[in-house]
Structure 1
């Protein structure tokens, strides 16, 4: 917006695609520089993982699914889930043969990790047996939550079944799964007699769950993401995102309105819960960006950008314009680890535009260089969220980033500068 006409959403694509291809090519050969034999950091989910869970699902009436054999279910879940028993017409078949066909109305007793169970239940369109037990909410905006808890030594559930304890009627919660060392589920879940030390998964309203846990003598585990057969909207988010991108591409509505509207529609359709939407917001980053917006404006309105641009233009006067362009990109790359990619753009962009105008050059390539430089922080794990996300799973250390990031940064600087001028000429035609 510095020049009065913002970049379009896809104006970054030519340079971005070229640099992306360069990065893939570089990593195809430079991956040998990555450390080998590192043990990935254990995340909270892995640390809290207990034994396999056992749950009970119902095959809905009228259910049609191409992969309807027990072996197909095992394959879909990548052998992370096993069908322990099949209940049909009042008869139980333990460890059903892999070629056994699954029919509408069958009840399946499944064993597996939560993510594997959730994936199978969702993909095969199965229904947890608690589906016919709707939860009552104190308020219309209250959300359904799922928690893991341990049956304490003084719990009133010891020796009781979910059916006899009337968890749904008395406490407003549903039992979704049970985990116990050496335990094999061979009967309906609501008939399993609970013992001290069992880990159970309960579903309930966010307001009623704390009271239910206390009343039942259950010890909640540290909170982690647990899903079992929750509603999924796999197609809707993709369609909504595509619609927003098309509207932006044809300049029907601005980018901010398009994607904010897409987020609102996803929440309205239930594709994402309000709690998840708020959790996705990075508070410190939002505050930082909001605080730097007036700073960026002040740099422009007070003449600070012109002053700094004048100093820099004196340095590059008589030099090749591409050197000034590379310098601005390098400044953005250097600032990103200490600020944030978005915050870096707010601070460096006015200076880049002022430098271009002082040199009598087109500001567009300088602004593009700022955007590219701010997005290409490979030197630290803190400059970009993606760098931080892979640090734990990859078992990386801080020193690993500059080892691979330094040559990649130099490569982006050397190749990216002429690539920008190819699509954004330094001199206006």
Structure 2
């Protein structure tokens, strides 16, 4: 080995140890490794930050922004609305949720797909009085599997596509991953829905956990053209049951009608009085075609993204002993007191005319920046993790249309994927689906820094002959084996690495090595690259292997060992299914 190779191998070994150790953030580890590579002479200073302009990095960032836009517009909710149905068996529920999760993960970031569907899964478990731990891990695994179906479904696919372009001059296209990814996803979903969930332990901690137990009394207006018009209040109870919202009554001409007004027909301009959690009320409003937003009262800018924030009213607050109307909160500050919670008590007075008391929890609605200013001005205390962005459901079809057009333009060869996604992001911003703040918040910057930092190191390893050295060693040690067996070994090793390393880092290290192995065997590199793409995504053994596994650990009540129960046989299944599938669609 040359001195340069020894330095790069030592640096990579150190980085891998630190990444597995996990005590230092992986983006800081990667960036520190990049600086060390520059100081050590392995990476030219002029090329140090080339990774930040790499197409793979740009695509990952844009896919995250597009995912946020589709969630904001209610496109994901629209697709997932069929998922909740009473009376399904556990296997049937897992099958439906997994299929939807995999399908969504194929076109948006799989973390965003899981976060949206996780709330639906928790709600379904609560209604069925079923342990959430039985269904949440299958859903997480399904969203991971679905990400393999297209190039934009998961970052490793994007990385592998770009590495192929660097090696051959031609990247994998959007749907080149589909045949192999789809077969693996179908096999994986069948497993988790029929056998996998039965392998999970059933400890007492795997019980349904309430995400938000606070129940507010709120009012929502019936706008022109609402689907609730001409229906009786009692007829809206079905929608209320689906979203765990109680319809308490009706306000007409500024006056609350007697009782629950069950037989009263709803008319345009009426206000429905609702009781439920923040998210439940927001979901009911969308399903019933109501309008709590009154955007013209929030600064006159109709495109603004609105947010709901829960806050406790302490003694001495400006709200203490006063009403929202007396403070003219909506007209002077552009923020609405949308709901109020007082130890589960129901009210007869209008929400904005209620005298607020210390200890009450208020639900404030308005543009994010204004809500933050009003919270400070009122002297109330926002509750951590109790902010909920309002979904712009009326723009769901437009959001889906622009995203589909971007993908179609790429597949047809009219433009590149980064440009098509960038145009879609601009359209989302112009439509008000995304605010400037949300564009930046959507990007998972640690992943961007990790990817951009490791790309120059990976190129340095390749140019120094390090990848060829590793490949020659692999081939020499397995010279008696056929090419398909060596492919299987590479998939298994890559999959094991991904269980403990970030999947992007795994793909960046394994993909160049797989190309050199293919070259040494004098066979096509494509099946080896496809094997790396599959293996880098399939991290099912640990809660640290994939962000989705980490997200579900708390809500599902899982222990570290629970992931092995279903994850180990699933990984074995994926290896067994992927190898013949890869060789069929991508012959050696």
TM-score (norm 2): 0.66
What SS is found at the alignment partner of 1:57?
A: strand
Equivalent of residue 249 in structure 2, options 85, 88, 100 = 85
> How many Å apart are 1:151 and its aligned residue?
1.8
8 A Cα contact 2:306 2:390, kept in partner: no
> How many Å apart are 1:11 and its aligned residue?
1.1
Is it true that 1:53 corresponds to 2:219 in the alignment? no
**1:22 and 1:124 mapped to 2: Cα distance?**
38
**1:65 and 1:87 mapped to 2: Cα distance?**
14
**Number of residues paired by the alignment?**
421
More contact order relative to length (CA 8 Å, sep ≥ 6): 2
Equivalent of residue 8 in structure 1, options 170, 173, 179 = 173
Closer, same or farther in 2 for the Cα pair 1:410/1:215, shift >3 Å?
A: closer
Q: Which residue is 1:94 aligned to?
A: 258
What aligned pairs does 1:19-418 form with structure 2 within 5 A after superposition? Answer: 19-27=184-192, 28-40=194-206, 45-46=211-212, 49-50=213-214, 52-61=215-224, 63-65=226-228, 68-77=231-240, 78=242, 80-89=244-253, 92-128=256-292, 131=295, 133-135=297-299, 145-204=307-366, 206-227=368-389, 233-418=395-580
Closer, same or farther in 2 for the Cα pair 1:306/1:339, shift >3 Å?
A: same
1:63-91 CA distance string (max 9 Å, x none): 45478332332222316222212123465
> How many Å apart are 1:107 and its aligned residue?
2.1
Gaps of 5+ in 2: 1-164
**2:230 and 2:562 mapped to 1: Cα distance?**
45
Closer, same or farther in 2 for the Cα pair 1:221/1:322, shift >3 Å?
A: same
Closer, same or farther in 2 for the Cα pair 1:358/1:67, shift >3 Å?
A: farther
> How many Å apart are 1:292 and its aligned residue?
0.9
> How many Å apart are 1:101 and its aligned residue?
2.0
> How many Å apart are 1:302 and its aligned residue?
1.5
8 A Cα contact 2:329 2:336, kept in partner: yes
8 A Cα contact 2:230 2:265, kept in partner: no
1:224-276 CA distance string (max 9 Å, x none): 22246766522222222222222232233223333333233223322233333
> How many Å apart are 1:394 and its aligned residue?
2.2
**2:180 and 2:264 mapped to 1: Cα distance?**
54
1:43-67 CA distance string (max 9 Å, x none): 8953xx43x1111222124545478
Structure with higher helix content: 2
Moved more, 286-295 or 126-135: 126-135
Gaps of 5+ in 1: none
**2:350 and 2:451 mapped to 1: Cα distance?**
54
What SS is found at the alignment partner of 1:386?
A: helix
What SS is found at the alignment partner of 2:217?
A: strand
**2:413 and 2:230 mapped to 1: Cα distance?**
44
Moved more, 95-104 or 409-418: 95-104
8 A Cα contact 2:226 2:288, kept in partner: no
> How many Å apart are 1:102 and its aligned residue?
1.0
8 A Cα contact 2:518 2:525, kept in partner: yes
**2:500 and 2:509 mapped to 1: Cα distance?**
12
TM-score (norm 1): 0.88
> How many Å apart are 1:42 and its aligned residue?
8.6
What is the root-mean-square deviation in Å for CA atoms of aligned residues? 2.8
What SS is found at the alignment partner of 2:346?
A: coil
Query: Which one has the largest radius of gyration?
Result: 1
> How many Å apart are 1:179 and its aligned residue?
0.9
**1:223 and 1:409 mapped to 2: Cα distance?**
34
What SS is found at the alignment partner of 1:56?
A: strand
